[in-house]
Structure 1
């Protein structure tokens, strides 16, 4: 799991086709301390996408991106040089400064507008229709792996406000109009939907398998 508090920004050095997916190489900054903190098999959130480290070389790590991940994330839009928000998987002692995230991207949004508000920046993002029901005013959402608060919802678009510290800590260049961003809705919303659907199904009358024909066949 992750919390949406970006630790560092890496650079996509290589994106090699592997079947219907990719093998990627991400270069990390010295402060990420890759060799001392990461082992083979560890999970890292890459712009909000949980990937498994398969190899480490210097300040770079390798990871495989499946066809499923390519289909549901922004990786199909990425090219060499793409900046990547990085976060290591959390531990039981991790400070939960954001919100609980799984690194399972739900869909791709599009930045439609950006405007200054004093020293903060307002950003409007258009979300896929099937995700809108999970996005709540003052709720949490992960955008390219960054835990952010939804400040306004209008139609299929929601507004975020990025304070200066957030702007300085993430790949802020990807929040330009026309950019595509990975979206992960609050996991609690998904589980609540599942619970309500299951509860609703259980309340439906159960259709009996007993018929007049089956009664006669069994001697009644």
Structure 2
């Protein structure tokens, strides 16, 4: 489990196909605190640490990425040089600053509009029709691993949904969200509570 509060940025140093894709990710963590078998969310994707090394503040860890994961996430995100939002798994007693995030990507969305609102950035993101019932104004959604609050929702004629987010300067600086432009693809995870509520409602119907 995660909270959607990004704690660091990492970059893919290498990616090599070994049955699954083995990616080595540079990060500012302490390798002594990254246990083999531990989970780290990489731009919203829960992955397992299979190797680690380096020094505190200049470390790296390796993960194996299955074909299924590659097919369900942003195209090209596992290429060498890619910057990733990182969050270590939630520990008992940690502050729940965002919302409960599983690290399982539900769909890939795309940025359809960006605009400046004061010092912040307004993003409009398109999500596929399958996710439309789970996205609500003032609800939570995870975009590339970051827990965010949905401002508005607008259903589209084709069944897709456009929703707006406000990215404050701090969030833009410490995550990859500040680099998003029109046409950028993003990993989306709906709120777990919304998932169960929708399931309960469908059974009642």
Q: TM-score, normalised by structure 2?
A: 0.90
**Aligned counterpart, 1:215:** none
**Counterpart in the other structure of 1:44:** 40
* Structure 1 consecutive aligned stretches of length 4 or more whose deviation exceeds 6 Å: none
Q: Displacement, 1:91?
A: 1.0
Structure 1 residue 77, shift from structure 2 partner: 4.3
What residue in structure 1 maps to residue 83 of structure 2? 83
CA contact (8 A) 2:110 2:126 kept: yes
- Paired residue for 1:73? 73
Distance 1:77 1:51 in 2: 14
Q: Offset of 1:79 from its aligned partner?
A: 2.0
The answer to whether the Cα contact below 8 Å between 1:174 and 1:181 also exists between their aligned partners in 2 is no
Map of 1:14 onto structure 2: 14
Q: 1:180 aligns with which of 166, 172, 185?
A: 185
Please name the residue that 1:217 is paired with: none
Q: Which secondary structure state, in structure 1, belongs to the residue aligned with residue 70 of structure 2?
A: helix
When normalised by structure 1's length, the TM-score is: 0.84
1:21-60 equivalences in 2 (<5 Å): 21-29=20-28, 32-33=29-30, 35-58=31-54, 59-60=59-60
Deviation by residue 1:57-103 (Cα, 9 ceiling, x = unmatched): 21111101112111111154442111100000001211111000000
- SS at 2:14 equivalent: strand
Q: Any idea what SS the aligned residue of 1:151 has?
A: coil
Q: How many Å separate the matches in 1 of 2:43 and 2:133?
A: 23
Counterpart for residue 194 of structure 1: 199
**Which among 176, 188, 191 is matched to residue 171 of structure 1?**
176
Uncovered stretches (5+) of structure 2, i.e. residues with no partner:
156-160
Q: State which structure, 1 or 2, has the greater radius of gyration over its C-alpha atoms.
A: 1
